[in-house]
Chain A
Amino acid sequence: MKLVVCVSLVPDSTTKIKIADSQTAIDTAGVAFIINPYDEYAVEEAVQLKEKNGGEVIAVSFGTDKSRDAIKKAFQMGADKGILIKSPVPDFDSYTVARNLADVIKELSPDIVFFGKQSIDFDGLVVPNMVAEILNMPSVNVVTRLDINGGIVTAEREIEGGKEIVTASMPVIIGAQKGLNTPRYPNLKSIMASKSKPIEERPQTYTGNKSEVFEMSLPSAKGKGKILEGGAASVPELVKLLREEAKVI
């Protein structure tokens, strides 16, 4: 099987974001970048499929030179090759990303393309479906379970208040949601092996953003506290808020 995983580099989820002087981007000074956490589920799924069925996993990233780090992380988890579509400046919107990825994916002609369901930096949730539209491929996003039988994939995806089972024929685009699998710790063997895995660098093939950021601002200053009134049943929500919103745990 030929498996492509699209990965992106995002600010660490615990970063305290500051806005740059331009007011249209974040200040990246002192910010640690990590592979997009949802991409880890995508990489893990692809590597598990490779381990089961044979084939190869190619990690593809669009971005500046820094994005190599996302590909390296995919290598450490078991991806075999990497392609960096290099953008000279970090000024691109989701459409530009999707167009550039689509060009490479078309050429690679994989059986399955995996994405994280969204990148946690801009949270657009659109790139996987944009790529699918550009390439006229079926796509299933927010996938929590994936089965493959012949050329058909059966995917379980989260929908509001429930689940949906979707089938699609390969080649297909899958957006990975938390729960699809448990991403492995890269072990020392794969970390050491990743040193010799090649990253092919390609120039950006498409420029032409469809959107422009006019202004970026932090959420307004802290207002009233929140009270969750569900008793013990609210604990998961409370933990989630403390972690993701208050960032105190």
Chain B
Amino acid sequence: MSTSNYKGIDYYFIDDMLTDEEKAIRDTVRDFTANEILPVIEKYNQDMKFPFQIIPKMAELGVFGPTLPVEYGGMGINNIAYGLIMQELERGDSGVRSFASVQSALVMYPIFTFGSEEQKKFWLPKLASAEKIGCFGLTEPDFGSNPGSMITRAEKVDGGYLINGAKMWITNGTIADVAVVWAKLDGKVRGFLVEKGTKGFTAPETKGKLSLRASVTSELVFEDCLIPEANLLPKSGGLKSPLMCLTQARYGIAWGVVGLAMACYDTALDYSKSRIQFGKPIAGFQITQEKLAYMVTEITKAQLLNYRLAQLKDNGKMRPQQVSLAKRNNCEIAKIIAGMAREMLGANGILDEYPVMRHMNNIESVKTYEGTHEMHTLILGEDVTGLPAFE
């Protein structure tokens, strides 16, 4: 049952557009965040640890791969409900939302989309129940925005494929039981499943992060790593395959960061109503109200973008460029809102008593990963002009 008084931000009565099930799913994840994430997250963030104890609870809740069909361990929910899950998890913490995003959009989705029936039957139910944890390896130390130039190679040898190369900035890498790794096979990007413990595969954790601290980030290193032939994702082919996965993950981010912005706005609104300076609450000053008006306006616009994007996705009409627009916009406004909220809290804003500085630091990663702001700008630029400006 709910122990939180937080009722969400709904300036435009968007709840009226949600079905009973969508609201129920949103509310149950909201309660989960209030009860399981918020009470512990500041400490885990300070200690640079992921709160592992919540993983089985998240699995029980059903948030891993929930849009997949029931026969593969999914829940068959629509993309509005999925987005709302991401929103509520990220109101807790971007690291927790990232864990769910990676498991769902970057591991279960590619196995479901590019995997063989055997791979799907074996892995998806185990990933849904979090018996197995996955990660996704595309980015390399020298190839981030330009993944098509990746160095990692797969070579067909007797008994399977030999993988050599390195991946970087891999969420869940060190703790993953299986990595969906993208490597060039005869010059073409293909997806491979590399299991933990495979000889020649190591996944050291990235240290020294000042953002997404409550999340495991890793490097994946492959040195003559031999994997069985059956571990190729047979339907993967070309750079388009991993980019399809990124579209899924970006979709979740577009929703997630609205939760982050909501947390910051809610905190700033509460604080400014109770913080007295010059004999009245600072919420009564025009400069504060301008900030709050900006925040609630941008959150509302982002909610409406997400809602429409979800409809397009459910109708099979969604274009990747439309996801870029939402990811780009929502990360941008979330970053501005987090910064504003921190300022409004004055000196208190730097304390872990409030969530805003953690969110402010996290959004730096979220705005960067799954396509930087600049790359999404160029994707949109190319889409509206027909002229690519990447090179």
From B35, which residue of chain A is reached at the shortest CB distance? A185
A189 to B7, CA, bound (A): 23
B193 an interface residue at 8 Å Cβ cutoff?
A: no
From A189, which residue of chain B is reached at the shortest CB distance? B62
Q: Which of A155-197 contact B (CB under 8 A)?
A: 183, 185-189, 191-192, 194-195
Given contacts A32-B7, A249-B5, whether A185 and B31 have CB atoms under 8 Å apart is: yes
B5 in contact with A187 (CB, 8 Å): no
- Which of A183, A188, A195, A249 is the one whose CB lies under 8 Å from B62? A188
CB A74 to nearest CB in B, in angstroms, measures 12
A191 to B19, CA, bound (A): 12
From A249, which residue of chain B is reached at the shortest CB distance? B5
B side interface size, CB within 8 A? 20
Main secondary structure of the interface of B (DSSP, over half): helix
A187 in contact with B62 (CB, 8 Å): yes
A110 an interface residue at 8 Å Cβ cutoff?
A: no
B16 an interface residue at 8 Å Cβ cutoff?
A: no
Chain A residues whose C-beta falls within 8 Å of the C-beta of B61 in the assembled complex: 185, 187-188
CB A182 to nearest CB in B, in angstroms, measures 8
- Contact count band on A: 20 to 34
B25 an interface residue at 8 Å Cβ cutoff?
A: yes
- Which of A14, A37, A189 is the one whose CB lies under 8 Å from B75? A189
A45 an interface residue at 8 Å Cβ cutoff?
A: no
A183 to B2, CA, bound (A): 9
- Which of A40, A69, A188, A189 is the one whose CB lies under 8 Å from B1? A40
B1 in contact with A183 (CB, 8 Å): yes
B77 an interface residue at 8 Å Cβ cutoff?
A: yes
Could you jot down 7 A-B contacts, CB within 8 Å? A185-B28, A191-B21, A191-B24, A191-B28, A192-B75, A192-B76, A194-B21
A76-B24, A188-B61, A188-B77 known, 13 other contacts, Cβ within 8 Å: A32-B7, A40-B1, A69-B20, A72-B24, A185-B32, A186-B28, A187-B28, A188-B75, A189-B75, A191-B21, A191-B24, A191-B25, A194-B24
A residues bordering B, Cβ < 8 Å? Answer: 12, 14, 32, 37, 40, 69, 72-73, 76, 183, 185-189, 191-192, 194-195, 249
CB-CB nearest 4 A-B residue pairs: A188-B62, A188-B75, A183-B1, A191-B24
